[in-house]
Structures are given as C-alpha cells and as structure tokens.
C-alpha cells in the first residue's frame, strides 16, 4: 500500500463489541505486524491513527470528532486507509498481555496468532470488557473491573501482583496511559522494565516521521516511526505517564 495516499475501502460489517466500542470490518486485508497502525481518513472530517484489530478491521471507541463520524457510518460507506506504519510487538517465548479498555485492540492479533499465554484485561464495568470471549479461547484470562461487576474489583494493574513476572519473556501493554505508566513502574520495581513493550497513542499528522507532531520528550523519539510500541526501559525517563500534546503542541497532563 502507498505510504502517502489513502486507499479507499468499503465498510462491510459493523460489530457492536461493547456499549462504547465498535469494530469496522472493511473489504481489504492489510499485511501488518501486531501493534502496527494505519491512518484512517474519514472523508470531510479528519485523518487519525488507529490500531488494526485484524488484517481487515479497526476497533474504535467514540472519543472525538473523527470517531463520532465513524460511529455515524453504515455498512457500504467508504473510508480511506493508509499504512501500515510503525513498529509492532516483537515476542518469543512466554508472553503476558495487559490491556485496559479499547487497548485490547492492538493486542488481539497477538492473541489470534497464539502468541499470548496470559492476558490481564481491565474495563470500567463487565459490559465494557473487550474481546473477553475470544481471548479466553486462546489464553489464560484474568479480568478486573472498576465497579466489580466481573473478576477482580479494582484496576487491572492490581492483577500484576498476582503474576510471577519471571515466567514471561515479554510483557505487552496497551490502554490508558496512566494505567500503562503504573504497569511500567511495577516492572521497573521488579527490575524487568526492558521486557515490557508499551503501545503509545499520540496526536499525529503525517504518520511517517516527517512532521514531528508526535515527538516525545526528552529524546525526540517519534511515536509514528520509532513506535508506537516502545520497550519499557526507553520510556522510564520520558514524558510517558506525565503529559501528552494536542494539535497545537500544548501539553496536557495524563
């Protein structure tokens, strides 16, 4: 697929995964590694980065103008896809996955490939647990909900203490940044931050490393090109877990 120009695809199926999350299946498969992303063009609205939840699908939570426009679309409507871009997850041996909310989306291809042994999945409530059934078919699943309606009553990060991290060669994480920062802190305390792989989300314009809108302090790493998946030890002294930037470059605390 051309890096510069979006390719038009037709939405073939829309799946309501949870009350706030939908999967949009389109009529083209994209050869991507788990954790890579595509730029999704919503005609007349915006172009935004989205993780692939399968070679022909994106899984979306309605959080802004572009995602709201996606939620207003129907089967047969068309969007543009550009990519895939960035570095994905690299795993071998035993792998632990940790996700909060829609952060399960970029981790699902690892599950589908049989590369996850244990999965810690968190959500606000039982109805918002994303892909729980599919994950349970392929991996040992441990669940946490903020309101206690399923699994552990509390945050998914609290499940990490129930896991022997020494059993895993890789720990792949995606979700709200405050959650991921808590996981990184736990790994750092155990002396294994380098085994963590964290999928970051940042505002992007180009997606190919030219515009600099997704550069991170203090080393200038580009989330689109050097990430979106970073090893934990590369993030310890960075802006990760502290702040992000909007389209104007202004900082906003996580």
The CATH code of the domain that includes 67 is 2.40.30.10
C-beta separation of 240 from 227 below 8 A: no
- Identify whether 160 is part of a domain: no
User: Containing domain of residue 45, as a range?
Assistant: 7-85
- Identify whether 157 is part of a domain: no
Q: For residue 214, say whether it is annotated as part of any ligand binding site.
A: yes
The predicted structure's pLDDT at residue 3: 57
- Identify whether 11 is part of a domain: yes
- Identify whether 2 is part of a domain: no
Name the domain count of the chain.
Answer: 1
- Enumerate helices (H) and strands (E) in the chain, giving the number of each: 5, 17
Q: Which stretches in the chain have pLDDT values below 70?
A: 1-3
Please report which residue ranges of the chain form alpha helices under DSSP H.
65-71, 108-112, 132-138, 177-189, 232-235
- Identify whether 134 is part of a domain: no
Q: For residue 172, say whether it is annotated as part of any ligand binding site.
A: no
- Identify whether 28 is part of a domain: yes
Q: Report pTM.
A: 0.95
Q: For residue 174, say whether it is annotated as part of any ligand binding site.
A: no
Q: For residue 211, say whether it is annotated as part of any ligand binding site.
A: yes
The predicted structure's pLDDT at residue 121: 98
- Identify whether 30 is part of a domain: yes
- Identify whether 166 is part of a domain: no
Provide the token pair at 212. 């600099």
The predicted structure's pLDDT at residue 1: 52
Q: Tell me whether residue 18 is exposed, middle or buried, using C-beta atoms within 10 angstroms of its C-beta: 0 to 12, 13 to 18, 19 or more.
A: buried
């Amino acid at each position: 697929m051309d890096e510069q120009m979006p390719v038009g695809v037709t939405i073939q199926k829309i799946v309501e995964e949870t009350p706030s999350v939908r999967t949009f299946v389109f009529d083209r498969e994209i050869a991507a590694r788990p954790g890579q992303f595509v730029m999704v063009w919503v005609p007349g609205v915006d172009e935004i980065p989205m993780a692939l939840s399968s070679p022909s699908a994106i899984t979306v939570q309605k959080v802004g103008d572009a995602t709201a426009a996606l939620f207003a679309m129907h089967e047969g409507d068309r969007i543009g896809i550009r990519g895939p871009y960035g570095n994905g997850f690299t795993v071998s041996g035993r792998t632990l996955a940790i996700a909060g909310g829609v952060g399960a989306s970029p981790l699902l291809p690892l599950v589908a490939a049989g590369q996850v042994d244990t999965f810690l999945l968190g959500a606000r409530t039982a109805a918002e647990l994303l892909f729980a059934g599919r994950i349970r078919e392929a991996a040992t699943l441990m669940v946490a909900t903020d309101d206690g309606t399923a699994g552990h009553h509390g945050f998914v990060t609290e499940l990490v203490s129930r896991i022997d991290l020494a059993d895993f060669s890789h720990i792949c994480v995606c979700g709200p940044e405050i959650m991921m920062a808590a996981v990184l802190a736990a790994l750092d305390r155990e002396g294994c931050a380098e085994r963590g792989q964290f999928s970051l989300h940042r505002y992007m314009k180009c997606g190919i490393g030219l515009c600099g809108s997704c550069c991170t302090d203090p080393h200038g790493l580009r989330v689109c090109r050097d990430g979106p998946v970073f090893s934990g030890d590369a993030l310890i002294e960075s802006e990760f877990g502290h702040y992000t930037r909007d389209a104007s470059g202004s900082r906003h605390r996580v």
